[in-house]
Amino acid sequence: MVFIVVVIAIFLIDQLSKYFVNKKYIEGKQKELIKDKVFIYNCKNEGAAYGFLKNRPIILKIVSISCLVSLIYYFISALAENKSFGTKLSLSLILGGAFGNIYDRFKKGSVTDFIYINIKNSPIFNFADAFIVIGTIIYLYKSIFFKKNN
């Protein structure tokens, strides 16, 4: 049950942060948070990472739904098979983030990205993206170094 709460909490954190950014910051403008390093930059991404498939919205939606269905299946299987804490946590993080971005993609036609860290080739991202990356890192670490009860 705790992992379902994590999925819901991540979805809500993501959606509330996007709502706040869209209300407070003008699209296309940036606000410096940490001098020359971290900015809020409200922008809309009609594609996946780095705008991938932005000119193919139907394909992007099909791929998104396919990935989401697979994630839900694997998440439910991990819960039913009582997989390790790390596996269930990582899938919770990924699933919560995926729900946040897919919700935007279907409801608004684009995903609000707003966190920009001034590092060479750094993407603009949101909390859903961050949770997906963190969940993926945990999952990979767990899979590589802890084989038992993955």
pTM (two decimals): 0.89
pLDDT more than 70, % of the chain: 96
| 150 part of a folded domain | no
| Residue of 14, 36, 104, 129 marked catalytic | 129
| 137 part of a folded domain | yes
- Is-catalytic flag, 129? yes
Count of other CB atoms within 10 angstroms of residue 92:
25
| 82 part of a folded domain | yes
Q: What is the pLDDT of residues 33-87, one digit of tens each?
A: 999 999 999 999 887 776 677 778 788 889 889 999 999 999 999 999 999 999 9
Which one, of 106, 122, 140, lies nearest residue 49 by Cα?
122
Q: According to the model, what pLDDT value does residue 61 have?
A: 87
What are the C-alpha distances in Å from 96 to residues 3, 25, 106, 131? 10, 24, 16, 8
| 9 part of a folded domain | yes
> How many separate domains does the chain show?
1
Q: What is the pLDDT of residues 116-125, one digit of tens each?
A: 999 988 889 9
Domain that holds residue 59: 2-145
CA 86 to chain centroid: 18
- Is-catalytic flag, 36? no
